[in-house]
Chain A
Amino acid sequence: MALPTLINTRSPLAAPAAQRARLEALPLARTFESALGEAGRQPLTRVAARVLQVNLGKRCNQACHHCHVDAGPDRTEVMPDDVVEATLAVLAQSDIPTLDITGGAPELHPRFRDIVARARGMGRHVMDRCNLTITTLPNYADLPEFLAAHGVEVVASLPSYAASQTDRQRGDGVFDASLRALRHFNALGYGRPGTGLVLNLVTNPVGAFLPANQAALERDWTRELKRRYDVSFNHLFTITNMPISRYLEWLEQSGNVTVYMEKLVQAFNPATVEGLMCRDTISVAWDGRLFDCDFNQMLDLPVDARGPRTITDLLTTPALLSHPVTTGPHCFGCTAGAGSSCGGSTVG
């Protein structure tokens, strides 16, 4: 059964400004900007864009407890055609090597397959951030075959190889449905040596704690998924839960918000700054606005006002984003411990 979204339950936290105010009001030992300053990295500068990350909308067949997008079946935000075309045009005229497609469940977008096919036609690497259960819906049962035919990297969410933990975070029955999807991908060659079809898994902690060491966890997961379910994959990415949207609501309701944020602040690791994804990613919202990352997108913290603000602006602006990254307290989530990004930990 799908959980109600913040917007549907009329939670005050449905408003990004309310989330920002809650985070700013926390009595943290220092600001993110001061932590960057002490590390000699303030302001946070960009490098050449390597990833164009496109959020196609907030519609999703699931409604996970930790979702920073507040996505769900009741959300209606979907990227319109003109934004889709502008995004593909920017990709075509740039040398950005990777198109990273996310949502919601991005496959629910009516233009999803067209976007994938055209980006692959430009020779770009395409990543689909897949919730796995989408492939168990009747109209999407052939999605794995489509992704395989186009050589798309699948980045699939699975918080735990323990069914109870996965269902606790993502909803009853999600683990079994995810397992069926993983077996489907494996049968097509995904996650198997020598096929070139990449199946990476993403795990985030089921609770208010930091993720485990990525390399050690990958060894455990490889062994346990094979032993328990005969499922294989390429790499495991560990991602820190961000104090945004429904995870922020859960932190508050469970009395963990201050302790969790203090944990993130105390775990600030200057070595993670170099590899922060916001430095080489352009994040495009469903409505075409530009952000430094998907998290800033959900907090409505847009890119620096001195540069291009929308994907359409990028069509006419010779240089891509070159201004400092917009930061806030939530950024401690990406700099804690071994770091966190859409590609997992960012240091050793």
Chain B
Amino acid sequence: MDTYYHPPDLAKFAEVGKDAPELWEKFLGWYNAVFAEGALTEREKALIALAVSHAVQCPYCIDAYTSGSLEKGATPDQMTEAVHVAAAIRGGASLVHAVQMRNKIEKIGM
């Protein structure tokens, strides 16, 4: 292995449960319930997951929810817009801290 991230490792996710099976089962039950159709459709949830995957920059999640979004019927333009939402929030989160900067300028400036 020449990298921490290795694509075949995604298929080994369930092995994480070996040393704490009860916690794994609780996680899996909750996870599956989260993604079941409810007030939001499975497609909408997959697109949210895809956007969050990019925000947290998880290669495994991007791999899984690119396939997952397509398999729930999302189109590439919808998926790209979802990633832009994540990117806009990340960008906005940086930019809104400029208020803190401006407050500081006000305080210490003449």
Contacts and interface: CB of A to CB of B under 8 A. Distances in A.
Interface in B48-90: 67, 70-73, 75-77
A96 to B, nearest CB: 34
Interface stretch (B14-22, B26-34, B36-44, B94-102): B36-44
Contacts of B77: 162, 164
B62 to A, nearest CB: 15
A225 interface: no
A165 to B, nearest CB: 6
A171 interface: no
Given A216-B41, A220-B43, A209 B76 contact: no
A271 interface: no
A212 B75 contact: no
Given A164-B77, A216-B37, A209 B71 contact: yes
Contact of B75 (A160, A209, A213, A216): A160
Contacts of A165: 75-76
Interface in A180-219: 205, 207, 209-213, 216-217
B76 A216 contact: no
Task: Tell me whether chain B's interface is mostly helix, strand or loop, or mixed.
Answer: helix
Task: Tell me whether chain A's interface is mostly helix, strand or loop, or mixed.
Answer: loop
A217 B74 CA distance: 9
A213 B72 contact: yes
B76 A164 contact: yes
Contact of B76 (A162, A205, A210, A211): A162
Nearest to A219: B41
A220 B73 CA distance: 9
Contacts of B72: 212-213, 216
A162 B67 contact: no
Contacts, number: 34
B14 to A, nearest CB: 13
A210 B67 CA distance: 9
Interface residues of B, number: 12
B37 to A, nearest CB: 7
Interface string A58-70: 0000000000000
A213 B42 contact: yes
Q: Among the interface residues A160, A164, A209, which one has the most CB atoms of the partner chain B within 10 A?
A: A209
Given A216-B37, A216-B42, A216-B43, A210 B75 contact: no
Contacts of A207: 70
Q: Among the interface residues A161, A205, A210, A213, which one has the most CB atoms of the partner chain B within 10 A?
A: A213
Contacts of B73: 211-213, 216-217, 220
Interface string A145-177: 000000000000000111011000000000000
A216 B67 CA distance: 17
A333 to B, nearest CB: 15
B76 A212 contact: no
A161 B42 CA distance: 19
A210 B75 CA distance: 14
Nearest to A213: B42
Nearest to A216: B41
A253 to B, nearest CB: 19
B43 A210 contact: no
A212 B43 contact: yes
A192 B43 CA distance: 27
Contacts of A205: 70-71
Contacts of A160: 75
The 7 closest A-B pairs by CB, nearest first: A212-B73, A162-B75, A217-B73, A209-B71, A212-B72, A209-B70, A210-B71
Given A160-B75, A209-B70, A216-B41, 10 more contacts: A162-B76, A162-B77, A205-B70, A209-B67, A209-B71, A212-B72, A213-B42, A213-B72, A216-B72, A217-B73
Interface of B: 37, 41-43, 67, 70-73, 75-77
14 contacts: A161-B75, A165-B76, A209-B70, A211-B71, A211-B73, A212-B43, A212-B71, A212-B73, A216-B41, A216-B42, A216-B72, A216-B73, A217-B73, A220-B43
